[in-house]
Amino acid sequence: MARKKLSVVRTKKYKKLVRLLAVFAVIVLVAGLIAYGWQKHEEEKYPEGTEKDYSLPNAFIDFARLINDFMTQSDEEEPVEVDEPQKDEEDEEDNIIIVGSSENTSKDESPEVTEEPEIRGGIAPKSENNGYYPFRNTLFVGDYFVVQAENLGYFEYSKFSHASGTGIDMNTIITKKTIKADGESYTVAQYAATMENIEAVYIIFSAESISWMDCPTFVKKYTAFVEEVVAAHPEAHIYVQPIIPINEEKSSKRGYTVTNEKINEINEYILALAEEKSFWVLEIDDIFITENGELSSESTTNGIRLEKEVYEVWADYILTHKAH
């Protein structure tokens, strides 16, 4: 009995739906006929070539579409609104890029590499022996020690400015024009200033240049000479060689009064000046000096000047201790 009752209810609902569809079809048909008739009527009213008014037919058509949408809206799913994710104000600020601003740099961007300042001064460092040619822009200045180095053919590509002879000491080296070149006369420092493209200057004096002077006097003259040379070549690397101690036994036989005590005192000043001015220091005296702190007997004949064979050892040290 219950099943029969349920079947009757379904039949009634079906008939109701059929009636609604029939009514809808009739409405659509009537609306279409009216719109069609009206359109024909309107076309006859307007002359050929003029714009026609289809507002009423369009209204019927819109009405029919409205009925259709109403009947079918239950079968369509309503669109689901999706909320867009909100950005934090902080995130938006982070994404702002100001063109040309140094503060908005990429995290992957490498930091600026700053060049380390060139180191100058100290003990001349050990280096490879590349021969004399790398010394082509090098200037050797000094007394007889430098004269002998040039005469023996060492550092053939380098330039030389030196003084030697009777009565030559630190005082006359500064004041006397002992060098003649191109019809002109120069002091050692003046002639050194005429050299061009100098990258390094070696300042070398022997005990002969001390002569009669006490330590303060020699230091004053030596400082004046060095300052003049450096002023002429301010960009060059400056190398200073402390005065090599003498062999007192041999030198005293020739009437030489300078002692190693005075030489050591002068060398302390030269080392202090080198540190103050950022000069390179040549530790050349370690090669020739005995445990007693004097020049070895085999290295000298008169107790002051080096033997010719010893210059080869000296030149090898210069070749293998180059900082520039």
Q: What one-character DSSP code corresponds to residue 230? A: H
- Domain identity same for 279 and 182: yes
Per-residue confidence band for 115, with pLDDT thresholds at 50, 70 and 90: low
* 37 and 155 fall within a common domain: no
171 in the same domain as 30: no
The answer on 164 and 260 residing in a single domain is yes
Tell me, yes or no, whether 283 and 171 share the same domain.
Answer: yes
Judgement on whether residues 33 and 133 belong to the same structural domain of the protein = no
Q: CATH number for the domain including 154?
A: 3.40.50.1110
E-assigned strands of the chain?
122-123, 138-142, 159-162, 179-181, 184-186, 200-204, 237-241, 280-281
> Residues 293, 270, 281, 116: is their CA dihedral positive or negative?
positive
* CA atoms 278, 284, 286, 292: torsion sign: negative
Residues 28 and 154 in one domain: no
Distance (Å, whole) CA 121 – CA 278: 4
Residues whose CB falls within 8 Å of the CB of residue 277, separated by 6 or more in sequence, listed in order: 121, 226, 230, 238
Identify the domain containing residue 61 by its residue range. 11-42+57-68
Q: Is the pLDDT of residue 110 over 60?
A: no
Closest by Cα among 134, 129, 189 to 156: 134
| pLDDT (0 to 100) of residue 135 | 98
Whether 115 is in a domain gets the answer no
Q: For 192-197, which contacts have Cβ atoms below 8 Å and span 24 or more sequence positions?
A: 192/139, 192/141, 192/161, 192/229, 192/232, 192/233, 193/228, 193/229, 193/232, 193/233, 195/139, 195/159, 195/161, 195/233, 197/137
- Identify which of 43, 23, 20, 21 has the alpha carbon closest to the alpha carbon of residue 31: 23
**Residue indicated by tokens 């690397």:** 237
Sheet holding 122-123, edge to edge: 122-123, 280-281, 237-241, 200-204, 138-142, 159-162
**Same domain assignment for residues 138 and 234:** yes
Residue 5 lies in a domain: no
| 1 belongs to a structural domain | no
pLDDT score of 284: 87
| Helix ranges (DSSP H) in 73-209 | 89-94, 144-151, 170-175, 188-193
Q: Specify if 76 maps to a domain.
A: no
Residue 113 lies in a domain: no
Tell me: do 35 and 149 sit in the same domain.
no
For residue 100, what pLDDT is reported? 45
Q: Are residues 63 and 164 in the same domain?
A: no
Residues 62 and 197 in one domain: no
Convert the pLDDT of each residue in 69-80 to its tens digit. Answer: 555 554 444 444
Q: Quote the pLDDT of residue 286.
A: 73
35-44, 70-79, 155-164, 236-245: which range is least confident on average? 70-79
Convert the pLDDT of each residue in 7-47 to its tens digit. Answer: 555 566 667 777 777 777 777 677 767 766 756 665 565 44
Q: In the prediction, which pLDDT does 101 show? A: 44
Question: Do 311 and 222 have their domain in common?
Answer: yes
Whether 49 maps to a domain, the answer reads no
In the chain, how many domains are there? 2
- Mean pLDDT confidence for 156-170: 92
For residue range 183-206, list pLDDT tens digits in order.
999 999 999 999 999 999 999 999
Average predicted confidence (pLDDT) for the chain: 81
- Let me know if residue 309 belongs to a domain: yes
Domain assignment of residue 104, yes or no: no
- What lies within 8 Å, CB to CB, of 87 at 6+ separation is none
